[in-house]
């Protein structure tokens, strides 16, 4: 171990040994290349429209007047809505909703036109369902806009009749106008919002699984002792040389994902190339560290894999991308600190979306670095387990 | 006649024997036990708990008030009063607000420009900027909802004040010539858990079945347990017994766990449960069957224990998205829609959600129900074929 030449030779030896293992079985190819690229292509092509366009909606028209038909046409002309069918009763429309044919509907009561002209304040009702959150909330905002338009149109014709100009009429009808600004994602592109996190999440899941598998299969095939001997009985050297091929491979995949998202699909990235690469490196290393941590704590292949898959799947929920951290129950908030994806999300928001430098995102990086440091503490335990291990199915 | 009965009796005995073997695998193989029993029991609880607060209320925002008028202060006050947002502070300019956003102290801000009050007083339109952090869609939704609510409320008052009406009735008509009402059907609180959890529950059933059957199949392939099965069973009928026997074992286990997942968990977490038990039962039957045979088909691909975890786990999130719950079905490209039809979860999630949270009857989910039966039949056949292929391979090796 004193001899540096020996050290390098051992390292190279184990490194090459791992390369052979990697290429010997198709499962490695699946986890390193096929699955990540599949996820990358799947999420980006699934949500390629950005916002769901032409969502099916219905109308219950009990009025059957030129006014009500006008409303239906306006609704149909909206970008996000397609009027699938006009129903003759509430029950038919609800039935269509329960059958999954429409996401919501507008109810125009009978005598709508007559009541409108007689200033009896007819009521438009819109029914949406949040059983599906995205179409539900989008449809809600569109139907709400529509009823505002209808209400405005009624008032406007009255104002025109009194000789008001369009500007005057609009100022009367809508004194305060809200201009919404979705910062860093002005088109409300769901793909930008979701793909940028789902893909790294899937990658981290695969990385920690494959790390556990790479170490665990040594135990399973009874080669752990040989591996340690080859690495000169140094767990630090053995482990580094063993996982380095995966680090390189996953960095390659990670960089490809970065290129595809930010270079090819041109998703906003205010972080710059160097920081994006740093974040990708942090992602790969922290996920590998997580795998090592799991296997050190429960040094059986099956339990290690089970833990990393359960952990990895939960990480999508607790990282705070879909359901905000602030709204979670306190124990879950505490728990979320144990997931590297949470720190990835924090850095991603700060660095990639907001364009902040390290001065703002260091806390997230610190979390990732802490994950990377933990295996160094657990290594002694891992070595002991590897020496005394027997494969338990 | 007697002969036929004898054959049937022997077949039944054979099937039950294999079922018994598989049940003992489920109970004694720790890996299978985790995925077939522990995960279905524990995971739904964890998931439901994460989302149990349902809503993101009181999103912290800032106000950039450049108008410094009574009206702008009223707007700010009303934003604070809204259930969706909470005014955390005032910023002197937009740059300051951006700084606060960077530090993630706030998730949005409202810009009331300097001409806000003047415009309103002089009968012009006043523009208010609502800025939201896109780190999460729920922040945007909260900021926009609150700002729209406040603006509508204030518009009403301004209109009434301007119109100079004489009666309350006139005021009401001025404010709203047409009234509108929103009704959120089924998921009336607009909660996150009510939307996501039913889908996750169904996905858990499918994925844990895939994992446990895959693991048991992989282990069998590893220790050559298939070989034992071939030796004990007879050539042609053996395959059928293996498939039905193994399937039956999982059906026993999942008739209990699925009831727990589909009925008890939503009850514990107060999710919407307006489905009729009978409809649920009728619907879940083909779902569990198709999942079992789908898993049995795939389990042949598993050459060792761990493969099922490595292959299957990563598909969970894509399957959730392909089912049309997270991302509307109408916006899913035809290719992915076609792919999603291969998985029982697509139909299972849609049907279960509609029965459970939307109160659909079984006749309203017939397309999904038929699809699940078709999958059951198809995957039973493929399971049979793949199992035969496996037996052939093993037989060759024995020879």
Q: Report how far apart, in Å, the C-alpha atoms of A269 and of each of A44, A184, A279, B207 are.
A: 16, 9, 12, 35
Domain count across chain A: 2
Same domain, A363 and A317: yes
> Looking at chain B, how many residues does it have?
399
Residues A253 and A365 placed together within one structural domain of the fold: yes
Beta-carbon pairs below 8 A across chains A and B = 326
Strand (E) or helix (H) holding B127? strand B126-133
Put simply, whether A156 touches B (Cβ < 8 Å) is no
Is A178 domain-assigned?
A: no
Q: Is A249 on the interface with B (CB under 8 A)?
A: no
Q: Do B155 and A175 lie within an 8 Å CB cutoff?
A: yes
Test A47 with B314 for CB contact under 8 angstroms. Answer: no
CB contact under 8 A, A176 and B155: yes
Cβ A339 vs Cβ A315: under 8 Å: yes
Give me the interface pTM, i.e. the ipTM: 0.87
> Among B212, B221, B283, B203, which residue's Cα sits nearest to residue B247?
B212
Check CB contact under 8 Å for A306 and B135.
no
Over residues B364-388, the mean pLDDT reads 91
Would you say residue B25 lies in a domain? yes
Q: How far does the CA of residue A241 sit from the closest CA of chain B (Å)?
A: 23
Q: Which residues of B touch A94 (CB under 8 A)?
A: 185
Please tell me which of the candidates B50, B314, B331 has its beta carbon nearest to residue A52. B331
Mean pLDDT by 10 residues, chain A (393 residues): 71 88 88 92 88 87 87 86 89 89 89 85 85 82 82 80 83 83 80 88 93 88 84 85 91 93 87 89 93 88 87 88 85 90 90 84 90 89 79 59
Domain CATH for B107: 3.40.190
CB-nearest to B135 from A27, A42, A353 is A353
Residue-wise pLDDT tens digits, A255-274:
999 999 998 888 888 888 88
Average pLDDT over residues B233-252: 76
Residue B176 reports pLDDT greater than 90: no
pLDDT tens for B136-170 read 888 888 888 898 889 888 888 888 887 777 877 77
Residues A201 and A329 in one domain: yes
Quote the number of domains for chain B.
Answer: 2
One domain for residues B217 and B361: yes
Q: Given a cut of 90, is residue B29 above it in pLDDT? A: no
Determine whether the interchain pair A126/B144 forms a contact, defined as Cβ–Cβ distance below 8 Å.
no
Give the pLDDT score at A251. Answer: 93
Residue A128 pairs with which residues in a beta bridge? A104, B184
A181 — contact with chain B (CB < 8 Å)? yes
Say if CB A47 and CB A194 are below 8 A apart: yes
Cα separation, B266 vs B282, whole angstroms: 18
Domain that holds residue A23: 4-48+189-388
Q: Which residues of B touch A205 (CB under 8 A)?
A: 313-314
Q: Which domain holds residue B48?
A: 13-52+189-398
B46, B322, B329 ranked by CB distance to A314: nearest: B46
Is residue B270 domain-shared with residue B378, that is, in the same domain? yes
Residues B271 and B336 in one domain: yes
- Within-domain flag for B7: no
Last residue of a domain, one of B144, B175, B206: B175
- The minimal CB distance from A121 to the residues B46, B172, B306 is found for B172
The reply to whether A228 and A321 lie within a common domain is yes
Which pLDDT tens digit goes with each residue over A279-333? 999 999 999 999 999 988 888 888 888 889 889 888 988 888 888 888 888 888 8
Q: How far apart are CA B198 and CA A365, in angstroms?
A: 35
Most confident stretch, A201-205, A220-224, B16-20, B190-194: A201-205
Q: Which residues of A touch B186 (CB under 8 A)?
A: 129-131
Query: Which pLDDT does position B263 carry in this prediction?
Result: 86
- Per the CB < 8 Å rule, is B101 touching A354? yes
Q: Which residues of A touch B332 (CB under 8 A)?
A: 46
Tracing tokens 């090796």 back to the chain, one arrives at B397
The answer to which of B38-47, B70-79, B186-195 has the lowest mean pLDDT is B186-195
For residue B2, being part of any structural domain is answered with no
- Do A127 and B183 count as a contact with CB atoms less than 8 A apart? yes
Residue A138 inside a domain? The answer is yes
CA-nearest residue to A147 within chain B is: B180
**Do B213 and B92 belong together in one domain?**
no
Q: What is the pLDDT of residue A150?
A: 81
* Residue B85 to chain A, least CA–CA distance (Å): 13
B49·A122 Cβ contact <8 A: no
In 3D space, the residue among B106, B122, B108, B105 whose CA is nearest the CA of residue B69 turns out to be: B122
Q: Are residues A92 and A166 in the same domain?
A: yes
Q: Is A276 in the same domain as A348?
A: yes
Answer whether residue B124 shows pLDDT above 90: no
Answer whether residue B298 shows pLDDT above 80.
yes
Closest residue in chain A to residue B219, using alpha carbons only: A393
Our CA-based measurement puts residue A302 at a distance from the nearest CA of chain B, in whole angstroms, of: 6
Would you say residue A184 lies in a domain? Answer: no
Does B222 lie in the same domain as B325? yes
Q: Same structural domain for residues A107 and A9?
A: no
Put simply, whether A309 touches B (Cβ < 8 Å) is yes
A179 belongs to a structural domain: no
Q: Do B197 and B117 fall within a single domain?
A: no
Distance from CA of A383 to the nearest CA of B (A): 22
Would you say how long chain A is, in residues?
393
Q: What is the DSSP letter of B311?
A: H
Is the Cβ of A117 closer than 8 Å to some Cβ of chain B? no
Question: For residue A179, what are the β-bridge partners?
Answer: B129
User: Does A165 reach chain B within 8 Å, measured CB to CB?
Assistant: no
pTM of the model: 0.89
Query: Contact at 8 Å (CB) between A217 and A291?
Result: no
Is A180 within the bounds of a domain?
no
CA distances from A324 to B55, B254, B318 (A): 9, 33, 21
pLDDT band at B226 (very low <50, low <70, confident <90, very high): low
- Name the residue facing A324 among B138, B143, B317 (closest C-beta): B138
In a domain, B184, yes or no: no
pLDDT at B376: 93
DSSP B238-284: HHHHHHHHHHHHHHHHHHHHHHIIIIIHHHHTT------HHHHHHHH
Residues B269, B123 within the same domain: no
Report how far residue A180's alpha carbon sits from residue B355's, in angstroms, rounded to the nearest whole number: 37
Is 70 exceeded by the pLDDT of residue B55? Answer: yes
Shortest distance, CA B10 to any CA of chain A (angstroms): 33
Among A154-158, A283-287, B99-103, B348-352, whose mean pLDDT is lowest? A154-158
* Burial class of residue B3, CB neighbours in 10 A (0-12, 13-18, 19+): exposed
Q: Domain check: are A76 and A216 in the same one?
A: no
Q: Does one domain contain both B36 and B132?
A: no
What is the reported pLDDT for B230? 54
Q: Kindly list the distances between the CA atom of residue B223 and the CA atoms of B22, B229, B305, B387, in Å, as whole numbers in the listed order.
A: 15, 12, 10, 16
Of B381, B350, B339, nearest in space to B239 by CA: B381
Alpha-carbon distance B151 to nearest alpha carbon in chain A (angstroms) = 6
Q: How far is B264 from chain A (nearest CA, A)?
A: 19
Q: Are residues A358 and A254 in the same domain?
A: yes
Tell me: pLDDT of B234 over 70: no
Of B133, B147, B364, the CB nearest to A98: B364
Do A214 and A335 share a domain, yes or no?
yes
Q: Residue B6: inside a domain, yes or no?
A: no
């Amino acid at each position: 171990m004193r001899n540096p030449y020996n050290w390098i030779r051992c390292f190279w030896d184990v490194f090459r040994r791992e390369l052979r293992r990697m290429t010997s079985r198709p499962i490695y190819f699946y986890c390193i290349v096929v699955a990540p690229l599949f996820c990358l292509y799947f999420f980006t092509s699934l949500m390629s429209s950005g916002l769901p366009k032409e969502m099916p909606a219905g109308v219950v028209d009990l009025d059957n007047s030129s006014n009500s038909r006008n409303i239906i046409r306006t609704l149909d002309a909206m970008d996000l809505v397609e009027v699938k069918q006009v129903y003759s009763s509430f029950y038919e429309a609800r039935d269509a909703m329960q059958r999954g044919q429409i996401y919501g509907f507008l109810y125009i009561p009978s005598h709508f036109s007559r009541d409108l002209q007689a200033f009896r304040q007819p009521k438009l009702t819109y029914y949406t369902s949040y059983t599906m959150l995205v179409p539900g909330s989008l449809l809600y905002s569109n139907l709400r806009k529509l009823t505002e338009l209808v209400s405005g149109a009624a008032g406007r014709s009255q104002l025109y009749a009194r000789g008001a100009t369009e500007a005057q009429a609009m100022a009367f009808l809508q004194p305060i106008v809200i201009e919404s600004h979705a910062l860093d994602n002005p088109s409300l592109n769901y793909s930008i919002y979701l793909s940028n996190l789902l893909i790294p999440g899937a990658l981290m899941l695969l990385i920690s699984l494959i790390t556990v598998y790479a170490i665990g299969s040594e135990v399973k095939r009874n080669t752990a002792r040989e591996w340690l001997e080859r690495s000169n009985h140094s767990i630090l050297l053995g482990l580094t040389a063993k996982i380095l091929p995966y680090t390189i491979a996953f960095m390659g995949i990670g960089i490809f994902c970065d290129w595809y998202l930010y270079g090819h699909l041109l998703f906003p990235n205010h972080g710059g190339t160097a920081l994006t690469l740093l974040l990708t490196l942090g992602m790969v290393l922290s996920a590998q560290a997580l795998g090592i941590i799991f296997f050190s704590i429960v040094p059986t292949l099956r339990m290690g894999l089970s833990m990393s898959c359960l952990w990895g799947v939960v990480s999508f929920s607790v990282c705070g991308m879909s359901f905000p951290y602030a709204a979670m129950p306190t124990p879950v908030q505490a728990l979320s600190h144990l997931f590297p994806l949470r720190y990835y999300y924090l850095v991603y928001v700060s660095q990639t979306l907001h364009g902040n430098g390290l001065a703002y995102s260091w806390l997230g990086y610190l979390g990732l670095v802490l994950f990377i440091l933990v295996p160094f503490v657990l290594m002694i335990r891992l070595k002991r387990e590897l020496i005394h291990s027997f494969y338990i199915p | 006649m007697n002969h036929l009965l004898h054959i049937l009796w022997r077949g039944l005995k054979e099937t039950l024997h294999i079922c018994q073997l598989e049940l003992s695998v489920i109970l004694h193989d720790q890996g299978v036990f985790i995925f077939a029993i522990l995960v279905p029991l524990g995971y739904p609880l964890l998931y439901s708990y994460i989302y149990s607060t349902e809503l993101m209320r009181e999103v912290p925002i800032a106000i950039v008030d450049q108008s410094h008028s009574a009206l702008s202060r009223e707007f700010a006050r009303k934003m604070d009063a809204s259930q969706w947002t909470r005014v955390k502070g005032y910023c002197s300019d937009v740059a300051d607000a951006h700084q606060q956003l960077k530090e993630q102290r706030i998730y949005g801000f409202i810009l009331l420009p300097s001409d806000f009050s003047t415009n309103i007083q002089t009968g012009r339109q006043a523009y208010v900027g609502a800025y939201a952090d896109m780190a999460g869609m729920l922040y945007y939704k909260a900021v926009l909802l609150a700002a729209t609510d406040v603006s509508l409320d204030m518009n009403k008052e301004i209109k009434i004040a301007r119109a100079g009406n004489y009666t309350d009735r006139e005021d009401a008509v001025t404010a709203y010539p047409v009234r509108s009402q929103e009704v959120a059907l089924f998921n009336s609180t607009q909660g996150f858990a009510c939307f996501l959890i039913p889908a996750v529950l169904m996905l858990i059933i499918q994925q844990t079945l895939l994992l446990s059957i895959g693991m048991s199949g992989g282990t069998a392939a590893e220790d050559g347990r298939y070989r034992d099965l071939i030796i004990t069973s007879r050539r042609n009928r053996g395959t059928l017994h293996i498939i039905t026997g193994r399937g039956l074992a999982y059906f026993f286990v999942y008739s209990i766990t699925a009831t727990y997942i589909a009925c008890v968990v939503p009850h514990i977490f107060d999710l919407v449960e307006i489905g009729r038990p009978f409809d649920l039962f009728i619907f879940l039957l083909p779902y569990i069957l198709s999942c079992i045979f789908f898993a049995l088909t795939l389990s042949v691909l598993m050459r060792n224990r761990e493969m099922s975890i490595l292959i299957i786990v990563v598909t969970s999130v894509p399957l959730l998205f392909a089912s049309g719950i997270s991302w509307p079905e109408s916006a899913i490209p035809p290719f992915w829609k076609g792919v999603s039809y291969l998985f029982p979860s697509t139909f299972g999630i849609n049907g279960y959600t509609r029965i459970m949270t939307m109160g659909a009857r079984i006749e309203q989910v017939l397309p999904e129900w038929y699809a699940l039966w078709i999958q059951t039949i198809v995957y039973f056949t493929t399971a049979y074929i793949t199992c035969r292929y496996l037996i052939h391979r093993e037989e060759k090796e024995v020879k």
